Structure 1
Amino acid sequence: MTQTNSQILNLTQWLNTDPGQTVIRWETDKFDQIVANAFGFNALQIGLPAWDFLRNNRIRSKVILTDESKKNVTSTDQPKIIHGRLDQLPFPNCSLDLVILPHILECSQDPHQILREVERVLVYEGRVVISGFNPNSLWGLRNGMPFLDPWIPIPNRNMVSVRRLKDWFKLLSLDIDRGHFGCYTPACQTEKWLKRWDFMNRAGDRWWPVAGGVYLLSAEKRARGMHLVGPLLKKKRRRSLANRRPAIVTQRNITQLFNTENG
């Protein structure tokens, strides 16, 4: 078993605990909001096949890719579960409209390679949505305390901070269009104490929004290319307008157009 598989299995077990279920409920709500407005032909979820974070998306073709052993995964028809390497996605270039990665980057030995693969398979204007643990939070601080058992089964050094993720997005021409932080409560083991501290979730959104225990970022893939700016752009526009001839539209033109398309 690879280190990545081991961390994903440990994370899956932790997500079934009381604090883990708090994370799942918050992330499911945010994923539902974002993917509801994503359209296209193909959608992909990478990792955590026990949870369907594509459930609120209306794209017909949905797939969950995992590198876990088949004996550890319960297969379903919708969405379909396939097995393969996460750092070499088995999809052609520019073939997916939506890709979501729930906590996969922090479980990987080479998260930047996975993100490069995601950029490769996304169509232009395609969307990627990523969730992760925030090392700069109460949970992150508790997880890194010496002489205490880890709070989350992922070392702080493996967590991908929002600032780091933004830098990677810039390198890959991925523009962030929205983001959320959540889970501001202290590191409590039981649902009883998590509920007692629930008021911090409401206060956190208002007073320290970037200190949530988990985050979710959404970005779109932009086309790489040169953009004309300043006087050169204005000059080219004037030349284009000067050379443009007005189009003469008649009822005969419209009739011919429709006849051609219908024929």
Structure 2
Amino acid sequence: MKPALTSKKPLYPASWDELPVGQGVRQLLQDCVLESSRRFFGYHLVKVGCLSGEITLPTCTIKHIINVVNSKCISEAPSSTDSLLVADAHKLPFLENSVDAYLLAHELDFSRDPHQILREVDRTLIANGHVIIVGFNPFSPAGLFRLLPLKSNKLMRDARFFTSVRIKDWLHLLGFEIIEQKQLLFSSVLLNRKHKIFSKLERLFCRYLPIFSSVYVIVAKKRVIPLSLIKPKWKASPKFSPVSASMRSSMRNNSQ
């Protein structure tokens, strides 16, 4: 297993158009995220990255949405009603326990230090807040074809491709509870296919072989266990006992 931290900074996509069949994947992902976002509530939703910013959530109950992008992608940022903030995902400029929900669409796949991004999400997310993480599956056709000496998209070859099991393990270590996981797109997104990606064959794979999906969506909830005072079961016993009245009387008679 390769370490999560790498010295090489992966190539970063500024939009879905830079990925093979990107707009088709975006639309499929948007429908999935829109359904999951209906459980969100609060005041602030943060989309991390340019890919996350292109996913619209019109029916989400959280109306204040912030899109965090890096300086290289500012010119490619989508025009929307979201508040745009130029910042580093590894150092989010938010106070502790101030964000109600996060959306990370392939942000960990193109990150040099995904652990640090998750730590920042954990630091700034409120108790019982939600996070949606979208990633590429290394066991999918996309993950397998990227290892072959074939001409393909450079961004996809540079992507990290972490397994969903590994992502969920990181979330568990931070105290998150996995609410649900969905598998999407059962075809190779490395190849610019000209036919429709939502084919009958892919629906069969989705039903019977979900492990080979190209994209997975993980919805997690931050759990905080409150500290409670535990009363001791033992009681302190006195070191001495008072002298009874009968004892004092007998001592007085002896002295007389």
Q: TM-score range by the shorter chain?
A: 0.7 to 0.9
Q: Tell me the TM-score normalised to structure 1 length.
A: 0.76
Deviations 1:80-134 (A, max 9, x none): 1110111010100011111010010011100110011001111010000010111
Residue type at the aligned position of 2:132: V
Tell me what 1:40 maps to: 42
Tell me what 2:251 maps to: none
Displacement of 1:177 in angstroms is: 0.5
- Aligned length in residues: 225
**What is the CA–CA distance in structure 2 between the aligned matches of 1:136 and 1:5, rounded to whole Å?**
20
Instruction: Kindly report which structure 2 residues correspond to 1:92-103, keeping only aligned pairs within 5 A, or say none.
Output: 92-103=95-106
Corresponding position: 1:169 with 2:171: yes
Deviations 1:143-192 (A, max 9, x none): 121x2123562337711210110110111001110111111124542332
Tell me what 2:212 maps to: 211
Corresponding position: 1:7 with 2:15: no
Tell me what 1:79 maps to: 82
Instruction: Kindly report which structure 2 residues correspond to 1:1-263, keeping only aligned pairs within 5 A, or say none.
Output: 6-9=11-14, 12-15=16-19, 17=20, 19-48=21-50, 51-69=54-72, 72-74=75-77, 76=79, 78-145=81-148, 147-151=149-153, 153-155=155-157, 158-186=160-188, 188-192=191-195, 194=197, 198-224=199-225
SS at 2:71 equivalent: coil
**What is the CA–CA distance in structure 1 between the aligned matches of 2:143 and 2:154, rounded to whole Å?**
8
Q: Report which stretch shifted further, 148-157 or 207-216.
A: 148-157
**What is the CA–CA distance in structure 2 between the aligned matches of 1:13 and 1:179, rounded to whole Å?**
26
Residue type at the aligned position of 1:206: R
What is the root-mean-square deviation in Å for CA atoms of aligned residues? 2.9
Max Rg structure: 2
The percentage of counterpart residues that share the same residue type is 26
Unaligned runs of 5+ in 2: 1-6, 234-256
Tell me what 2:239 maps to: none
